[in-house]
Structure 1
Amino acid sequence: MKLDQATINDFESVIKFYDDVTLRTPKMDTYARWKKGQHPTEEGIKAYIEEGSMYLYKKDDAIVGAMALTMYQGEDYHAIKWSKQVKDNEAAVIHILAVSPDYQGAGLGTEMIRKAISISIDSGMKSVRLDALASNTPAHKIYERIGFEYRGKQHLYAENTGWTDFFFFELTK
């Protein structure tokens, strides 16, 4: 398996992949709280693909993992007290990381995050960051095991959750 940058030709397959993950992941309504059509959205996925930020992990041409990796952070990240103060275009951010339910628990998510870190470093980023719902404790454990540290929380609005707490993490290695 290898991680490849998605192209617009992958769009329909990526949508089907995220829909499958959303519908079949155990305890999705407890942890990530993704909802088909609300998060991740088709518009958001298309934008990630068009800007070259969507990455796919494939096995035998089938998507088994996907994530967006932007080489910038948004304004939601400004309120957090980071260990490294960097400009928005010096911080890579991992978004909408997902693994097929058929491959969950096999270390694929960890492998994808490690590849995202390598891509970020190779691209000259000074920091790698991400956020997750406060309720997504399984994801928090994975991030911390890899070397990310909790940096703070914000109470933010999202279509799929309403107002809720998000935890922010930063790679500190």
Structure 2
Amino acid sequence: MIRLANPSDLDAIAEIYEEILAAEDARPASYTNWQRGKYPTRDTAEAALEAGTLWVGEEDGAVYGCVNLNGEQLPEYDAIPWSIPAQPSEVGVIHTLVIRPSWSGRGKAREFVAFCEEELRRQGKKAVRLDTYEGNFPANTMYPRLGYRLAGATEFFFQGFIHEVLNCYEKQL
């Protein structure tokens, strides 16, 4: 089940972030380009929780993933040649979609994306957008398979401390 997060979920979400960062440390190349202690953190999740935009996936009492789903488009999105005409208020954005590494391969990321699309349709949005690190092979493979179009890539100064190139995707709802 995917549901709105509550304060009692924050510890599990912080654990997921840490598990992902530990898995990144064990790989020769990073999929996320995230940095421990900077992004994502418990504070990242807490801010989304307070905004009412943090959703968690839970099964048998275990939180296996989360996403921040809102309409916030980073300033760098202005450099992307989006093809789906939509006013900012008509766009939903998927941020920081994460699945606990021990749950990978079970289709949970695809379930989250389908949930996000349905929730954004319910909110009356016309398009969904997202960005992901250019080296994130799993995400850059999954989104096109789910009907997302690579709209472009640009350098982001993410969170004010990470210079990186992010691929930006879109899908009409």
Output the TM-score relative to the length of structure 2.
0.89
Select between 104-113 and 35-44 the one with higher mean Cα deviation. Answer: 35-44
Counterpart of 2:170 in structure 1 is: 170
1:92 aligns with 2:87: no
Distance 1:161 1:106, change over 3 A: farther
CA RMSD of aligned residues (A): 2.1
| Structure 1 CA distance for aligned equivalents of residues 148 and 127 of structure 2 | 11
Select between 11-20 and 60-69 the one with higher mean Cα deviation. Answer: 11-20
Distance 1:157 1:74, change over 3 A: closer
Contact 2:13 2:42 in 1 (8 A): no
1:10 aligns with 2:9: yes
Contact 1:129 1:171 in 2 (8 A): yes
Residue 160 of structure 1: how far off its partner (Å): 9.5
Counterpart of 1:106 in structure 2 is: 106
* DSSP 3-state at the match of 2:101: coil
Contact 2:134 2:166 in 1 (8 A): yes
Counterpart of 2:20 in structure 1 is: 21
* DSSP 3-state at the match of 1:131: strand
Output the TM-score relative to the length of structure 1.
0.89
Higher-helix-fraction structure: 2
| Structure 1 CA distance for aligned equivalents of residues 28 and 97 of structure 2 | 13
Identical positions, percent:
26
Contact 1:153 1:167 in 2 (8 A): yes
* DSSP 3-state at the match of 2:67: strand
Q: Render the CA deviation track for 1:61-102: whole Å, top value 9, x for unaligned.
A: 211111111134232222211112322221111111111111
Residue 35 of structure 1: how far off its partner (Å): 2.5
Distance 1:85 1:28, change over 3 A: farther
Distance 1:161 1:134, change over 3 A: farther
1:50 aligns with 2:53: no
- What 5-or-longer segments of structure 1 have no aligned partner? none
Contact 1:6 1:55 in 2 (8 A): yes
